[in-house]
Amino acid sequence: MKVKIYVTLKEGILDPQGKAVQHSLHTLGYASVRDVRIGKYVEIKISDMPEETMESRIKEMCHKLLANPVIEDFRYEIER
């Protein structure tokens, strides 16, 4: 099965990469862009396992490696 994980900076954490992209978009003429935030998108293919085990595994993986829980939030979707 496939898991899609979205890692984003928490509200209020400064996002320099997003600011740089926003600036570039303005330079390209997209003045209507008001804010840009950049996150990570991780797609994992994983062997089948029961839903509960899967959920706890994903949370563990995010806490240990994929996200920095101090400054980042994550959410995920499981596709069968």
* Residues 65, 50: Cα–Cα separation, whole Å: 22
Q: Which residue from 10, 13, 46, 51 is in contact with its own copies, where contact means CB under 8 A? A: 46
7 binds its own copies (CB under 8 A): yes
Closest CA to 5 of 48, 54, 50, 52: 54
Kindly state whether residue 57 participates in binding its own copies, applying the rule CB under 8 A.
yes
Supply the minimum distance, in Å, between the C-beta of residue 70 and its own copies: 19
74 class by beta-carbon count within 10 Å (0-12 exposed, 13-18 middle, 19+ buried): buried
Instruction: Give residues in contact with its own copies (CB under 8 A).
Output: 6-8, 21, 24-25, 28, 30, 32-47, 49, 57, 61, 64-66
